[in-house]
Amino acid sequence: MKSSLKLIIFPVTVVLLCITLSSCNSKNSTNQDWEHLLDMELSQWDEFVGAPHYSVAIEGYDKGNGMEEGTPLGLNNDPLNVFSAIEMDGEPVLKVSGEIYGAVTTKKEYENYHLSLMFKWGDKKYAPRLGKPMDSGILYHAIGEQGAFWNCWMQSQEFQIQEEDCGDYYTIAGTGADIKAIKKENPDSAWDIFIYNPNSAYKQFKTGEDGRCRKNANYGKLEGWNQIDLICIGDKAYHIVNGKIALVVEKSVTYNEKNIAKPLTKGKIQLQSEGAEVYYKDVKIRSISELPSEFANQLK
């Protein structure tokens, strides 16, 4: 009887062990799909620092209004450590001081990808955004020259990272897209007219008066870490904040000097410095061909 019992238990144990190992191997394989983009040397990024504001305590540089005026400090010239890597809870974290406008830029271009990261706000704000909401952003499909817009950023599409406005869309330096959007009844400004609505007709957005679309709801948190996912597949992009789709970009394009549009589906990625202290961590990316089910189900 004891011998028979052992024969029954043994195969079950083996099966359970195989299932466990298979599950572990599957998880490891999934984890290996991600390319981690942060280290203590910021080795996968270039830094571009714009022109300092008049109020910045730095000598030897042509200052201005912090945007289009003045001369940029330029590529990988960051004497004030606007961008730096610090260790927090045993992992590398990108600290963006916000003191001068600019961005870190991936050295590689990406297409058809899922970018995942976390961010949280710091405490400091700087001119020219004193008294305004804390601001940063993810610029994606970034192409062309550094500093094309305001001496700071490349031509690109923007996933806005801002207090109360995480997930908004902006065109940067000659880009455009179609977004399902409705018009606000009482807009606060020319930059506050349209809101993403998945059940609406398409609205064409283009650098200029129609260069911004608001997210459908505020999913961002002012305190603690926020989870951000940007998924780009073909000419579509999904802006996802704390697990919720805030906006969907379609027919992403760039315009040339003759105002002729062509598809914009790949490029570098920039993380902005824009007058506010902000921290980014767990920045990773993987190739993707379809929208994961947890997000796709939100669009049904």
pLDDT digits (tens, 9 = 90+) for 218-252: 999 999 999 999 999 999 999 999 999 999 999 99
**Percent of the chain residues topping a pLDDT of 70:** 88
Q: Which residue has the higher pLDDT, 91 or 184?
A: 91
- 102 with 276: CB under 8 angstroms? no
Q: Which residue has the higher pLDDT, 1 or 40?
A: 40
In a domain, 280, yes or no: yes
Query: Cis before residue 128, ω within 30 degrees of 0?
Result: yes
Give percent of the chain with pLDDT exceeding 90: 83
Q: Tens of pLDDT along 33-86?
A: 999 999 999 999 999 999 999 999 999 999 999 999 999 999 999 999 999 999
In-domain check, residue 111: yes
291 lies in which domain range?
A: 35-299
Q: Is residue 14 part of a domain?
A: no
Mean pLDDT throughout 199-208? 94
**What CATH number does residue 217 fall under?**
2.60.120.560
Calpha distance 14→221 (Å, rounded) = 47
> Is residue 30 in a domain?
no
Residue 49 lies in a domain: yes
Q: Which residue has the tokens 């020259």?
A: 145
Most confident of 9-18, 177-186, 264-273: 264-273
DSSP code of residue 5: H
Among 106, 101, 132, smallest CA distance to 117 is for 106
Residue 8 has pLDDT above 50, yes or no: no
Q: Give the amino acid at 90.
A: G
Count CB neighbours of 24 within 10 A. 10
Where is pLDDT greater, at 148 or 31? 148
Please give the pLDDT value at position 185.
79
Q: Which token pair is 192?
A: 């506050």
Please count the structural domains in the chain: 1
32 pLDDT tier (thresholds 50, 70, 90): low
Instruction: Check residue 140 and give its pLDDT.
Output: 98
